[in-house]
Amino acid sequence: EAQVTQNPRYLITVTGKKLTVTCSQNMNHEYMSWYRQDPGLGLRQIYYSMNVEVTDKGDVPEGYKVSRKEKRNFPLILESPSPNQTSLYFCASSLDRGPYNEQFFGPGTRLTVL
């Protein structure tokens, strides 16, 4: 089954404790991205990657890192999480950056930073 998977689905952590949220897709997609969703602010893009070893900032990259060493994986790293990073995070992928391509979203990771 074609899908985007994220782990963990739920995470509660404390300020300053480094964490990684994994994202993997099995569709051989070139393009992957991370979004966060907050009440009243909608979905905002954090980082995106157009291919292996190519990443770039989205609208709200501060406090996040990403890497794309393999085509299928695109982990989101919070080096020193803070309470304002408490949010619902979604990973997404699409075949490439073409405007006619649909994006496939993962199930989400709900992160709470105390």
Binding site for another protein (CB under 8 A): 4, 31, 33, 42-43, 45, 48, 50, 56, 58-59, 90, 92, 97-100, 102-108
The smaller minimum CB distance to another protein, of residues 13 and 103, is found at 103
Residue 108: how many other CB atoms lie within 10 Å? 16
Work out how close the CB of 74 gets to another protein at its nearest, in angstroms, rounded to a whole number.
Answer: 13
Look at strands 104-105 and 109-113 and give their pairing: unpaired
Work out how close the CB of 70 gets to another protein at its nearest, in angstroms, rounded to a whole number.
Answer: 20
Look at strands 65-66 and 19-25 and give their pairing: unpaired
Question: Phi, psi (5° rounding) for residue 16?
Answer: 90, -10
Work out how close the CB of 59 gets to another protein at its nearest, in angstroms, rounded to a whole number.
Answer: 8
Place of tokens 């949010």: 87
Mention every residue, 6+ apart, whose C-beta is less than 8 A from residue 100: none
The smaller minimum CB distance to another protein, of residues 14 and 43, is found at 43
The smaller minimum CB distance to another protein, of residues 73 and 103, is found at 103
The smaller minimum CB distance to another protein, of residues 73 and 101, is found at 101
